[in-house]
A and B are shown apart, each in its own frame.
Chain A
């Protein structure tokens, strides 16, 4: 009971308040620095706040969240033993500090047959490009703070999205060099698989977003989000905002978000980007249970850099998806009203805090979605991965480009595109609802330990879901059978 209350309070009060507070601080810091140094200096504080504080801290916390969340899904408790100065820390947060310390102080090991230079270059090339990716993602609106114009983005180059594609494509070097230089057969296999998978999905990654570029006529991320009312995703397709001359007051409508315009592109992009992060179900390069992965010979912080870059990819992918498909820092409805209120107009910092919080809450939601996906689906086979990339995502991506193109030219107001998008969403929802009930066949879940190996012995209701059932049976074996009701906590320090 108290655990539920704790989780609810954190989700709905503590986390939003924290996000809003840090964002308000970021705007204030930027405005102050612009005043004392030169206009535009706030970009430096943006680097600090967005890339070092938000992305790095969120990524490190996600390492813990992933362990906690997988525990929850597998009916375990998860990490809860790292105490801070002998006092228990809620939600196992102590583990995230303990992990960092452990990785930093572990033996800096190097296999004898490895090529030293390339072996050290591997983690660098895996980490550095990913770290730089967030530079073009806008996390908040442009505001007047202390008389200075402050925006919440590190850089706004003309090539925007292409920067992400270009720099992300460099991450291939990290994995393939790591795999090759370790001089280990498993590592080499992992490295080759990783490189081949990453390049196969890079094509679909780029292709999936062309439709959005056509709809918004830009590749710059702030332009996708839309700074001024009526631009980018900051407008309604159907609604009562001022531009449409309808009733003033609280504005309601269907925002022109990418997800409504391009649901197919969203699925393509999400799948392709997920494959780029090399997480389950796309984790053949790491397949912990068989080949371990391209980083098998790495220990301590060098391994940590591979791991951290994977989690940074989650945060950055979420950020990019929020900007492209979920309206960036904009509220779905009522933002026009909010910006018009007396309070927000007199305290722009407050508006920055609210909209910045909106952005990061959306990012956290998508991070959560990625954790769910990672712990829900079993691993693909290698040929399935290649088939999905080349025979599904690539052709569908090409078709999407030309269908979108025709719809955009037909109706430049994008309403036709949105209608087709909504139709796709409706069809997908209907198909999902109408799917034959595989779930009921599994319903007698809890003590579902008996093996499903012999398909012929199964009753007909099981027969069609055999592949599924085997997976579940596997999980049932590995998971702890019943929930441990009493929270176990062994004191680490003697004083406890």
Chain B
């Protein structure tokens, strides 16, 4: 067992533990902080997969931006620890559970479909894999349309943010 495998298991176990804490902890703020920790350990796993850029963007966007919004909402809406009321079975919840299960099944199928270890790469190829330059090269040539579509998605998000708060600003 080499160092990379040890590190992988360390990150994986820690990520699972902190993800469990997100659900288990009573206080919403502790949940949010556990989620930040989860993102961090996931970033570590990404580095082990040579997806360095994704790792740093994970920290930058998820831990540094999205979770800040979560924390904002929790702190400023004054969400406190509440005894969760007994969950009622509603149509929405059943549908959500089904969707979650089928997503998981789909992911499992995809992962199991991967045959054997990934093909070995030459050192020169490895050095370029996952770098910011390589990512940009792919994104801005092959995936042009999805990239431009993201701008529309972001525009919708901006409009949504304003509309939601409109009465108060």
Contacts and interface: CB of A to CB of B under 8 A. Distances in A.
A128 B60 CA distance: 16
A167 B65 contact: no
B60 A169 contact: yes
Given A158-B53, A162-B56, A176-B71, A170 B63 contact: yes
A157 interface: yes
A169 B36 CA distance: 12
Interface in B64-87: 64-65, 68, 71-72, 75-76
Interface residues of B, number: 21
B132 A159 contact: yes
Contact of B75 (A117, A167, A180, A199): A180
B160 to A, nearest CB: 18
Given A166-B60, A173-B36, A192-B76, A159 B68 contact: no
Contact of B68 (A166, A172, A180, A219): A172
A195 interface: yes
B22 interface: no
A187 to B, nearest CB: 12
Interface in A157-184: 157-159, 162-163, 165-167, 169-170, 172-173, 176-177, 180
A195 B52 CA distance: 27
Contacts of A202: 64-65
A118 interface: yes
On chain A, which size bracket covers the interface?
A: 20 to 34
A165 B30 CA distance: 24
Contacts of B64: 165-166, 169-170, 172, 202
Contacts of A176: 68, 71-72, 75
A191 B72 CA distance: 10
B68 A163 contact: no
B132 A118 contact: no
> What does DSSP make chain B's interface, helix, strand, loop or mixed?
helix
A204 to B, nearest CB: 14
Contacts of A173: 33, 36, 68, 71
Contacts of A195: 68, 71-72
B15 interface: no
Nearest to B50: A158
B59 A170 contact: yes
A219 B29 CA distance: 34
Name the residue in B29, B57, B60 with the highest tally of chain A Cβ atoms < 10 Å from its Cβ: B60
Nearest to B59: A166
Nearest to A220: B132
A199 B59 contact: no
A162 B135 CA distance: 14
Given A158-B53, A158-B131, A192-B76, A199 B65 contact: yes
Contacts of A170: 59, 63-64
Nearest to A213: B132
B59 A167 contact: yes
Contact of A162 (B30, B36, B57, B68): B57
Interface string B120-138: 0000000000111000000
Nearest to B36: A173
30 contacts: A157-B56, A158-B52, A158-B130, A159-B53, A159-B132, A162-B57, A165-B60, A166-B57, A166-B59, A166-B60, A166-B63, A167-B59, A169-B59, A169-B63, A169-B68, A170-B64, A173-B33, A173-B36, A176-B68, A176-B71, A176-B72, A176-B75, A177-B71, A180-B29, A191-B75, A195-B72, A199-B65, A199-B68, A202-B65, A219-B132
Given A118-B29, A170-B59, 18 more contacts: A158-B53, A158-B130, A159-B53, A162-B56, A166-B56, A166-B60, A166-B64, A169-B64, A173-B36, A176-B72, A176-B75, A177-B71, A191-B75, A195-B68, A199-B65, A199-B68, A202-B64, A219-B132
- By Cβ-Cβ distance, the 9 closest A-B pairs, closest first, are A169-B64, A166-B60, A166-B59, A159-B56, A158-B131, A162-B56, A180-B75, A166-B56, A158-B52
Interface of A: 117-118, 121, 157-159, 162-163, 165-167, 169-170, 172-173, 176-177, 180, 191-192, 195, 199, 202, 219
